[in-house]
Structure 1
Amino acid sequence: MIDTGLFIVPARGGSKRLPGKHMIPLNGATLIERTARCLTESALGFPVLLTTDAPDIRSAGKALGWNAPFLRPAELASDSASTLDTILHALDVHETGAATPDVTVVIQATSPFRPAQAVADAIRLLREDGTLDAVVGMRRNTVPAAYHYPETANLTALNTGLEPVLVPNGTVYAIRTEVLRRDGTLFPERLGAVITDWVGSIDIDTPDDWNIAEALAAKGLTGQVIGWAGTELPWSKA
Structure 2
Amino acid sequence: SVNHNVKAIYQRYLGFFDGNPATLHPHPPVEAAKRYVAYMGGAEAILERARDDHEAGDDRWVAEVVRHVVFAEPDNTAARELLADALTQLGYQAESGPWRNFYLTGAKELRDGVMVLPTPSTTSPDVIAAMPTSLILDYLAIRLKHRDAAELAGSTLLVLTDVEERHLLELSNGVLHNRPVAADEEVTTDATVTSTRVWLNGLLAADDPATALTSGEDADITGDPTSLLSVFGLLDEFPFWFDIVTP
TM normalised by structure 1 equals 0.24
TM normalised by structure 2 equals 0.23
Give 1 or 2: higher strand fraction: 1
Give 1 or 2: higher helix fraction: 2
The one of the two structures with greater contact order (alpha-carbon pairs below 8 A, sep at least 6) is 1
